[in-house]
Amino acid sequence: MPKHITYAVWRGLFAVLIAISLLTNPLQAQSLVSTTSTDRETAVPDLPDPLTEDTANALISRLSDSEVRALLLDQLNAQATNPDDDTDEIEDFIYHLTSGAFAQITIALQRLPLLVTEQARAFSTFGNFVGTNGLLAIAGYFLMVLLGAFAIEFAFRRLIRGWLVLPPRRADSQSMREAIVPLAKRLTSEIVSVAVFMFAAAQITRLAVPAYYHPFFMLVGPWLIGLPRMSAAVARFFMAPNAPDYRIVSATDTTARAMVFHMFWLGMVIGIGQVIVPFNVANGVPVGETRIGAWVNFAVHLYVALLFWRYWSESIDMMRGGYNDLSPAEDWIARAYPYFGIGVALATWWIVNIVVSYENFALLEGIPQYKTLALLTFAPAMDTAIRGLVRHLAPPMTGEGPVAERAYVSTRRSYVRIGRVLVFGIVLMAVASFWDMSPTTLANAGVGERFAANLMEFLLIIAIGYLVYEVVSLIINRKLAAEMTASGYDPNAEEMGGGDGGGAGGSRLSTVLPLILGVSQAAIIVLFLLLGLSNAGVDTTPLLAGAGIVGLAIGFGAQKLVTDVVSGIFFLIDDAFRTGEYVAVDSTMGTVEKISIRSMQLRHHRGPVHTLPYGEIPKITNYSRDWVIMKLRFTVPFGTDPNKVKKIFKTIGAEMMEDPLFQDDFLQPFKSQGVLEFDDVGIVMRGKFMAKPGTQFTIRKELLTRVNKQFEENGIDFARREVRVAIPGLDDHDKLDEADKAAIAAAATEAAQEMVEAAPGAGKPGD
C-alpha cells in the first residue's frame, strides 16, 4: 500500500477512536479543547518506520486514549506550522522583487554620509600603512612599470603596424568581407597589444617592485588600464570613427567618435568600482559599510541610460542600419530601441538590487550586469551585421522580372528573420550564462527546478518551431518563385488574363505549392505548440480529444465540405487547371486566380470574380493548356486574287518568325488557309497560327497591323458591308425630296439591324 494512503488510513482510524472516546466521556472533550497540562505532558508516541499495516495495528493495540490524542495533536500542529512551500516561495520572491530591492536603495541612501568619511578613512589607513616614503615609492614604481610596459607595447605595435592601419577601401566595393577582415585584424592587433602591455607590466612588477606592492599593482592594471582600452577597441571595431567606409553601424563621424569616447569612460567607471571595493576591504572598510559598490553600479547604469537619452535619434538611425526598405515592424522596432536601451539599463540595475537583497553577492562577482549591458548596447551592430551578411551571402536573384524581384526581396527578409532568431537565442544563452541561470541554479534560488526546466524546454521548442517555420516557408517560396519565373507567369501583370481570356498559366508545381505552404505552416504551428505545452507540463490529451470531436462533427455535419475537399484533391491530381489559366465551368469563364482546399476563384476578363466549390464543378474546359491556335478572318472584295492574299500572309508569317520579339512565342508560323467562303459582301479569307498560351493576343495585334499595311501597299481593300434598298416604281430617283430620303434611311437602318441580329453569335457576352 502506498505510504501516503497508509497515512490517510491511520489518521482516519485515529479520528474514529477520538470520536468514540469523546462520546463515551464528555470530560475528555473538554480536556481536548482546553489542552490541559496533563495532555501536554503525555508523551507523543513515535510512528513506526516503516509504517505498514502490521506495524500500525501493533501501535494502535498498545496506545491509550491520551496517547492517541497527543499523536493527533502533534500531526495537526505539524501541518499548521508547515504552510505550503510554493506559497512561501512566491511570497518570498515578490518581497525581494519589490520591498527587498527597494530596501537596498534605502540603505544606500542612508549610508551616503558614511561614503566620504569611510572612504577617507580607507585612504588614511593605506597612507599610514605605507607612509609618505611608501606613497612616493608606489608612484615611482607605478611610473616605471607604465613606461616600461608602454615601451614594449610600442615595439610590438611597430611589428604589426600593417594590421593596425585600415587600407583604403574602393568606393564601389560592396563586399562584406572587405570590411570585416581589416576591422577584425585591427581589433585582434589592439587586443593582443593590450595583452602584451599587461604581460610586460606584470613581469616588470614581479622583477622590480617589492612583493608587498604586488596585489595593488595587479589590481589596478587590468581594471583601470586594460578594461577601458579593451572597451574602446571593441567600439572602434563597430564604429570605425576615422574610416566611415568600414563602419559596420550606421552612424555619423561625430556620433562614432562620441561612442568610442563614452565606451572608454564606461570601462573606466566599471574598473574603478572593481578596484575600490577590494581596496576598502583591505584597509578596514567592510563591503557593505558605505555601499560604494551600489553607487558605482548606479553610476554605470545611469551613464548608459543618459547615453540613450542624449543620442536618441542617432540610436534610431543605428537600428535602421541605413536601409530604406524596412518593413513597418522593423521601423517600429528601430523607433522603440531607445526606450528598450533605457529599460534594459534600469532593469539590470534593479536586478542587481534584487540579488543583493538575497545576499547572493557571489553571483555579482563576474559583473554579469555590465556584460548584459554591453551585449544589448551593441544590438544595432548585430542587426546591421545580419542584414549586411544577408545582402552578400543570400543567393542571387533567379530570373528576371517583377516576380523574381519580389521573390528575392522575400528571400532576403526570411534570411534576416532567421538570423535575428539565431542571434536572439545566442544573446539569451549568453545572458543566462552571465547570470548563471540554469534549472539547478533557479531551483536553488527558490524558483523550482521543475518549473524552470519546463519553461526552458517550452521556450526552446517554440524557438526551434519558429526556425522550422521560417526555413520551410523560405524553401517553398523560393521554389514557387523559381517555377513562376521559369513559366513567365506573373499573377499581378495586367495582361496575364489574356485580355479576352486564354492567358498562360503557371506550372503544375506553382499551383500546388501555395496549398502545400499553407498546410505545412499550419501543421508546424500546431505540432510545435502541442510539443511545447506537453513539455511544459500541460496535459494535451483534452485538446487532442476535442480536435477529434470537431473532426467527427465536420464529418457528419459538413459532408458538403468534405465533398469539396476530396473533389479538389482529385482535380489537382488530374492537373485539370493551374493558376493563371483561362478555364470555363459550364457558362462561367475566367482566369484561375486563387485556389484553396475547398474552392477556386475565377476572374473574368472584364473583372468579376467567381468562386466555385470543387464539388459543384461537373466539367472544366481549359483554354490555356500547352498551346493555342488562333484563326483570323479577312473579307476582301469580289474580284480580289486569293493567291495574292496568300503570298502576303506567307510573307508576314516569315517576317514575324524572324522577329526577336515574337519568334519565341510562335509554335507554328502564321499562314493562309485559303478561301473560307463567299458571303454577300466579298471573299472570306482565313489565316491561322499556333502560339504559346497568353502570347496569342499580342501576336494578333501585330498581325492585324502588318496585314493592313501590306493590303494598302498592294492596293487591296477590305470589303465593306452595304445595304441596298429597292423601291419598286421609283424610276425618277434623282428627284427625291427630304421626306423620301428620311423614309429610305429609316428602312435601311431597320434592315441593317435585322441582319446584325440574325448574324451567328450576335448578342453573346463579350462580343
Give the residue with greater pLDDT, 125 vs 740. 125
pLDDT confidence of residue 143: 92
Give the residue with greater pLDDT, 590 vs 231. 231
pLDDT confidence of residue 255: 92
CA distance 300 to 307: 11
**Where is 523: in which H helix or E strand?**
helix 508-535
CA distance 597 to 561: 10
Question: What's the CATH code, domain 628-713?
Answer: 3.30.70.100
| CB-based burial, 251-268: b 16+ in 10 Å, e otherwise | beeebbbbbbebbbebbb
Give one DSSP letter per residue of 230-296, joined into a string.
Answer: HHHHHHHHHH-TT-GGG-SS---HHHHHHHHHHHHHHHHHHHHHHHHHHHHHHTT--HHHH-HHHHH
Instruction: Report helix, strand or coil for 379.
Output: helix
- Read off the pTM: 0.60
Q: How confident is the model at residue 5 (pLDDT cuts 50, 70, 90)?
A: very low
Judge whether 374 and 390 are in contact, CB under 8 Å. Answer: no
CA atoms within 13 A on the CB side of 684: 10
- In the chain, the amino acid numbered 173 is S
Torsion from C-alpha of 214, 219, 225, 230, nearest 10 degrees: 130
Output the CA–CA distances (angstroms, integers) from residue 107 to 104, 233, 270, 295, in the order listed: 5, 37, 22, 11
Question: What pLDDT, in 10s, does the model give residues 739-761?
Answer: 766 777 777 677 666 666 655 44
Q: What share of the chain is helix, strand, coil (3-state, %, to 5)?
A: 70, 5, 25
Q: For 107-213, where are the E strands, in sequence order?
A: none
Mean pLDDT of the chain: 76
CA distance 43 to 178: 86
Question: What pLDDT, in 10s, does the model give residues 643-679?
Answer: 888 888 888 888 888 888 887 777 788 888 888 888 7
pLDDT confidence of residue 86: 53
> Residue ranges per domain, the chain?
3-80, 132-287, 465-621, 628-713, 723-767
- Please state whether the peptide bond connecting residue 728 to the residue before it is cis, i.e. omega within 30 degrees of 0: no
Question: What pLDDT, in 10s, does the model give residues 265-302?
Answer: 999 999 999 899 889 988 888 877 888 989 999 999 99
Question: What pLDDT, in 10s, does the model give residues 619-652?
Answer: 887 777 777 788 888 888 888 888 888 888 888 8
- The phi and psi torsions of 484 (rounded to 5 degrees) equal -65, -35
Question: What pLDDT, in 10s, does the model give residues 441-458?
Answer: 554 554 445 565 677 677
HEC-encoded secondary structure of 200-216: HHHHHHHHHCCHHHHHH
Instruction: Report helix, strand or coil for 141.
Output: helix
**Where is 689: in which H helix or E strand?**
strand 683-691
In DSSP terms, which residues pair with 602 in a beta bridge? 592, 610
| Residues found in the chain | 767
Residue 249 makes CB contacts below 8 A (sequence gap 6+) with: 238, 239, 256, 318, 321, 380, 381, 384
The distance from CA 583 to its chain's CA centroid, rounded to whole angstroms, is: 39
Longest dimension (CA), the chain: 153
Judge whether 450 and 536 are in contact, CB under 8 Å. Answer: no
Judge whether 354 and 97 are in contact, CB under 8 Å. Answer: yes
Mean pLDDT value across residues 531-550: 70
Mean pLDDT value across residues 222-246: 90
pLDDT confidence of residue 732: 59
pLDDT confidence of residue 723: 58
* The 588-595 sheet, strands edge to edge: 609-613, 599-603, 588-595, 582-585, 621-622
Output the CA–CA distances (angstroms, integers) from residue 344 to 40, 308, 422, in the order listed: 58, 11, 20
